[in-house]
Amino acid sequence: MLSKQGAKKLVQAQPLRKMMAVDEYLCLMFDQHPRDDWKNKFARRDLRAFSANPLLISPTHYTYDHSYFSDTEASVVIEDNGVKDEASVVIKEKEVKDEL
């Protein structure tokens, strides 16, 4: 579940300017990501996240288990080369903010 306040925090961090997998982004935003260099890209990391114990939903496979599939797990990190398509990013961010 995501509250309106939580959604605003996620959008205000401008995630479209720092493209990454959503599971990485969420961990960064509640300050539980292992990579400090990625954390440093987001100044405000105070999203509140909660979990149930026992879990309500459990994965059927974990990373690198037999039959595990991920379209992002083995991806390479693409560093920012300074080339930006500002117009499309700004337009998309405005669309997302308007929906909130």
Residue in this structure with the two tokens 């903010």, named with its chain if needed? 97
pLDDT at 90: 52
> What residue type is 25 in one-letter code?
Y
Q: Mean of the pLDDT values across residues 8-23? A: 87
pLDDT at 63: 77
CB count within 10 Å of CB 64 equals 9
Residue 18 has pLDDT above 90, yes or no: no
Report whether 16 contacts 93 (CB < 8 A): yes
DSSP string, 22-81: HHHHHHHHTT--S-HHHHTT-S---------SS-SS--SS-TTSTT---SSTTPPPPPP-
pLDDT in tens, 20-68: 888 889 999 999 999 998 899 899 999 999 989 998 988 887 877 888 7
